[in-house]
Amino acid sequence: MEYKYGIAVSPGVAIGPALVLDTEGVLIQHRTVPPDQVEAEVVRLQKALDEAAEDARSTRERLTAKIGPTFGNIFGAQASVFQDPGLRSQVETLIRIQYYSAEYAVSRVIRDFVKTLEEAARKIPEHSRAEILRRSAEFIDLERQVLANLLGHPTDTFTNLTEPVVILANDLMPSDTADFNPRTVRAFATESGGNTSHTAILAGALEIPAVVGIGRFLTDVSGGDMVIVDGEEGVLIIDPDEDTLRRYEDKRIALLSRVDRYESIRDKPAVTNDATPVPIRLLGNIELAQEAEHCLERGAEGVGLYRTEFLYLNKTADPTEEEHYSAYASVLHKLGPSRPVVIRTLDLGADKFSSLSGTVAGEKNPFLGLRSVRLCLRNLDLFKTQLRAILRAAVHGDVRVMFPMISTMDELRQCKTLLNEVKEDLEDAGVPFKRDVRVGTMIEVPSAALLADFMAREVDFFSIGTNDLIQYTLAADRNNENVANLYQPSDPAVLRLIQMVVQAAQRAQIEVNVCGEMSGEQLFIPLLVGMGLRQLSATPRKIPEIKQVIRVLQVTEAQEVARRALGLETARQVSSYLREQLRRILPQAVD
Amino acid sequence: MNGPMRRTVRVINPLGLHWRVAEQFSRTAGRYTSAVVVRNGETSADGKSPTSLILLVALPGTELVLEVDGPDAAMAIDPLAAILAAPSGEDYTI
């Protein structure tokens, strides 16, 4: 039995047999072979490469006959790579010398090529970069074809799992986690990653227990070993003994019954405990279409934050308008015509993906760099494609569009102008769309909070993104352990900015929402309601907990909590005051 | 023996040394018994291996050094240099 400690990113406990993934996320069950199987492995490799070359050649002939040699020859080049003597000898050497399995050896060699090209791409002028990155993406495509032949089945294994497993990997690509079916993937644990990594957010969204950032452990575990993932404490236990298994089975059942308790308040209204109950609108934060169901299951009144980054990640090409449209439309169909759905436009850091045109690789300070709406305003085609799809999808429901990371009035106005241009284009083209969608801005940069009164004149609503607001206000990255202690939602500077934004919204009579992690914590609910918030948006899983606080809270006492908290000087004082108040208001509160 | 024949060739194809060029070059190089090496600065590629040619990351404007060493070098060097120096090739990648 072995304990491994990491970062808990998605709660719950799961027990099951391990499925170990190769470091690059491809399902490779055996990394090495016994010495006496080396020659058989080389033969297997040659066969797989020959098959891939044969497939490419027959595709070439088919396409040449059908649409001409220009397209056909594309596959001729592919065939030549599969038959490349240089490539073959490199892979064979790894099998013979390192006893690597054919799969692992192919993957290592091709990943090295990809790395070489990506490093080269960083050093060359921007206009040539896309071409070189495309070549590296093509290598990955070639790798997949060979692996598919070697493994004898397509590599998208997650969707084909028949028995429940716990997935262990170095890291997972967001597109991998998106295919996880919670019925068969019970949990996952990874060597790398942090609590704000995209994968961690998705694990939370899919409600799969997860622990990340464990450090090297894959060498200590084999596929099929029994493992426990404790997403509450951030622990992975390999090969647990009987006592431990029993203890965790009990814990697992206890956690499930906590979930059931919350179900009992799902259909009760989210109103305060005042003589005249004040409704607080609770909305869900989502990323994937299937999470729309989680919103409904947990009693959310709509979607307060629909993140769209998912559409862009791990793509070799930017998503098409149709891809955007069908993703949005499927969420809207699940939620119906009258529940609000706030779609946030692309909010990716330039560091998150290399395939997007116009991306600046190797920025020294990506969080202060070309990201989010800044990236969109520099890539107008990309931005307009998304805006067109949002406006078109809006005919199916109550869609609102929201711009992230706005830091100046000019940016906000440019976004609005662009939205109007897109409307004109759609109008001219006779494409059905909804003209009067509400427009909002995220307030997540201190400059935007400070200008909230001006910003309020331009938009129909605000949504305060506390995660970034905290990071930019305190100038601290919470994933950097040396400064993570500075990152505190309860810091008085953060509270003051939130208060300014809420007051600006109230004066301008526009809606204001909080959609950062802060609004998902019971601790902050009395404070936020007391500051005047009547809308909160959180991950669907948190909604019953928030509602539980709201239903026992009185607005007058919340206002008193806010008044007192805003008079405190340090984050520590605010937190301990809020804890004390939560214990008073809701004695059974967790933690 | 005189050692390898050498020729400096400038890539003018707007996509640089792309897959189609690599494929055509390596296929042609494979017809000769001579060893074929292409250098881009410090990096060198086996001329008979299309993947290694791609990894040269030869952009438009790059000066490549072509080295052919063997009994049929004199016959091989012209057609090989011509492929590297071709103005367009076809505009596709794999």
The 10s digit of each residue's pLDDT in A427-472 is 999 999 999 999 999 999 999 999 999 999 999 999 999 999 999 9
pLDDT for position A517: 87
Whether the CB of B83 is below 8 Å from some CB of chain A: the reply is no
Q: Does the distance separating the beta carbons of B20 and A84 come in below 8 Å?
A: no
Whether the CB of A76 is below 8 Å from some CB of chain B: the reply is yes
Max Cα distance, chain A (Å): 81
For A245-300, the pLDDT digits (tens) are 999 999 988 887 776 667 778 888 999 999 999 999 999 999 888 788 889 888 99
Q: Where are the beta strands (DSSP E) in A366-495?
A: 398-403, 438-443, 461-464
| CA separation for the pair A99, A86 (Å, rounded) | 19
What residues 45-74 of chain A have any CB closer than 8 A to a CB of chain B? 70-71, 73-74
Question: DSSP letter at A6?
Answer: -
For B37-79, the pLDDT digits (tens) are 999 999 999 999 999 999 999 998 999 999 999 999 999 999 9
Tokens linked to A209? 């227990």
Look at residue A25 and tell me whether its pLDDT is greater than 60: no
3-state secondary structure of B74: helix
Query: Is B44 a domain residue?
Result: yes
Chain A CB contacts of B55 below 8 Å: 113, 116-117
Q: How many domains does chain B have?
A: 1
Exposed, middle or buried by CB within 10 Å (0-12, 13-18, 19+), for A242? Answer: exposed
Q: How far is B33 from chain A (nearest CA, A)?
A: 15
Q: Does the distance separating the beta carbons of B90 and A77 come in below 8 Å?
A: no
Query: Annotated catalytic, A198?
Result: yes
Whether the CB of A93 is below 8 Å from some CB of chain B: the reply is no
Whether the CB of B49 is below 8 Å from some CB of chain A: the reply is yes
Query: Is B68 a domain residue?
Result: yes
| CA separation for the pair A74, A381 (Å, rounded) | 27
Query: Is B93 a domain residue?
Result: no
Chain A CB contacts of B89 below 8 Å: none
Chain B CB contacts of A73 below 8 Å: 20, 90, 92
Q: How far is A397 from chain B (nearest CA, A)?
A: 42
| pTM: predicted TM-score of the whole model, two decimal places | 0.62
Query: Annotated catalytic, B9?
Result: no
Look at residue A72 and tell me whether its pLDDT is greater than 80: no
Residue B77, C-beta contacts closer than 8 angstroms, at least 6 positions apart? B5, B7, B66, B68
Range of the domain at B12: 5-85
Tokens linked to B34? 């001579």
Closest by Cα among A175, A176, A251, A171 to A214: A171
Q: Does the distance separating the beta carbons of A134 and B51 come in below 8 Å?
A: no
By DSSP bridging, strand A226-230 and strand A461-464 are unpaired
Q: How far is B60 from chain A (nearest CA, A)?
A: 9
Q: Does the distance separating the beta carbons of B51 and A81 come in below 8 Å?
A: yes
Query: Is B94 a domain residue?
Result: no
Beta carbons of B58 and B16 less than 8 angstroms apart: yes
Q: How many CB atoms lie within 10 A of CB A370?
A: 17
- Could you tell me the domains of chain A? 2-27+157-260 (3.50.30.10), 35-151 (1.10.274.10), 268-277+474-591 (3.20.20.60)
Phi-psi region of A110 (alpha: psi -120 to 50; beta: other; left: phi over 0): alpha
Residue A410, C-beta contacts closer than 8 angstroms, at least 6 positions apart? none
Whether the CB of B55 is below 8 Å from some CB of chain A: the reply is yes
Residue of B nearest to A56 (CA): B94
Q: What residue type is assigned to position A332 of the chain?
A: L
Catalytic residue among A295, A376, A415, A515: A515
pLDDT for position A142: 84
CATH code for the domain in which residue B65 is found = 3.30.1340.10
